[in-house]
Amino acid sequence: MLSREQIIDTAVELLDAGGEGALTVRAMTERLATGSGAIYYHVGTRDELLDTATETVVTAALATKPGGASVTPEEEIRAVALALFDAIAEHQWLATRLTLQIIRNPIGPVTVGIFERIGRQVGALGVPQAAWFDATATLVHYILGAVSQNARVDGDTSDVEAGVDREEFLGAASRAWQELDPDDYPFMHAIVDQMREHDDREQFLTGIALVLDGITNLR
CATH for 24: 1.10.10.60
Give the model's pLDDT for residue 163. 53
- pLDDT tens profile 101-120: 888 888 999 999 999 999 99
Q: How far is residue 200 from each of residues 23, 128, 148, 212, measured CA to CA in Å?
A: 29, 32, 12, 18
Give the model's pLDDT for residue 219. 76
Q: Please, how many CA atoms are within 13 Å of residue 63, restricted to the half-sphere of its CB?
A: 6
On whether both 77 and 160 belong to a single domain, the answer is yes
Is residue 207 within 8 A of residue 146, CB to CB? The reply is yes
- pLDDT tens profile 28-75: 999 999 998 989 899 999 999 999 999 999 999 999 988 777 889 999
Reference 76, options 67, 62, 86, 66; nearest CA is: 66
Residue 158 CB-density burial (10 A; 0-12 exposed, 13-18 middle, 19+ buried) = exposed
- pLDDT tens profile 158-178: 444 555 677 888 899 999 999
On whether both 13 and 61 belong to a single domain, the answer is no
Number of domains in the chain: 2
On whether both 107 and 155 belong to a single domain, the answer is yes
Residue-range definition of the domain harbouring residue 154: 55-216
Sequence-distant (≥ 6) Cβ neighbours of residue 204 within 8 angstroms:
81, 82, 85, 146, 147, 150
Q: What is the pTM of this model?
A: 0.83
